[in-house]
Chain A
Amino acid sequence: AQTVTQSQPEMSVQEAETVTLSCTYDTSESDYYLFWYKQPPSRQMILVIRQEAYKQQNATENRFSVNFQKAAKSFSLKISDSQLGDAAMYFCAYVGGKLIFGQGTTLQVKP
């Protein structure tokens, strides 16, 4: 069965610094998607970045980038130049035969 694990319940970063959120998953499928979603205090889930498993190149969206290690089944999110508005809960999600979310990581950004 597929699983998604976010081992960091809480993280903090200084404004303008860089932080990396970890996500590991387990699957026997070869074709799937991975996503990072952000849930700010408003609680609306917002897509941050997506990665197709067949693509070797790591996805990048402005200050957000991923480190996708398919063999290691690792999908970490790097936030560069952190801003106060980045404070939120971040969820890693696996989409293949099933759609599975990790437990979430709460990110605090300190001014």
Chain B
Amino acid sequence: DGGITQSPKYLFRKEGQNVTLSCEQNLNHDAMYWYRQDPGQGLRLIYYSQIVNDFQKGDIAEGYSVSREKKESFPLTVTSAQKNPTAFYLCASSIRGGPNTGELFFGEGSRLTVL
């Protein structure tokens, strides 16, 4: 079955450590996205990529980094520079990027807790 796989589902990190969240899709979608979800704040865009080897900052990119070396994969690194990293992270993809990108397909999310 086609879909988006995020791992790990739960992750604990000590302060000062970097951590990488995995996102893989087998939908042959061009565009991929990372969102952060906090209680009462909906979804906020961290980074997005419309095509391989290209990505753009979203609204809250500070303290995060991404790469898009393969169409299927869009890993997110939460660096030690991120001041409040404890959150729920959602990865999504769409058939194409750019304006009127259409429906987003979501993974099951990763819950990061900083101890």
By the criterion CB–CB under 8 Å, are B108 and A42 in contact?
Answer: yes
Are B90 and A45 closer than 8 Å at their CB atoms? yes
Q: How large is the interface on B (under 10, 10 to 19, 20 to 34, 35 or more residues)?
A: 20 to 34
Q: Which residues of B contact A95 (CB under 8 A)?
A: 100-102
Interface residue? A26 (CB, 8 A) = no
Q: A96 touching B99 by the CB < 8 A rule?
A: yes
Query: By DSSP majority rule, is chain B's interface helix, strand, loop, or mixed?
Result: loop
Contact partners of A33 in chain B: CB under 8 A: 100, 102-103
Q: How many residues does chain A have at the interface if contact means C-beta atoms less than 8 Å apart?
A: 23
Q: Mark A15-57, 1 if CB is under 8 A from B, else 0.
A: 0000000000000000111010100001111110010000000
Residue of A with least CB distance to B41: A103
Residue in chain A with minimal CB distance to B108:
A44
Measured CA separation A42–B107 after assembly (Å): 11
Closest A residue to B99 using CB positions:
A97
The answer to whether residues A31 and B40 also contact, given A44-B108, A44-B109, A45-B106 and a CB cut-off of 8 A, is no
Specify which of B42, B45, B107, B108 lies most central, judged by the most chain A CB atoms within 10 Å of its CB.
B42
Interface residues in chain A, defined as those with a beta carbon under 8 Å from any beta carbon in chain B: 9, 31-33, 35, 37, 42-47, 50, 91, 93, 95-97, 99, 101-104
| 4 pairs of A and B residues whose beta carbons are closest in the complex | A45-B106, A101-B43, A103-B42, A101-B42
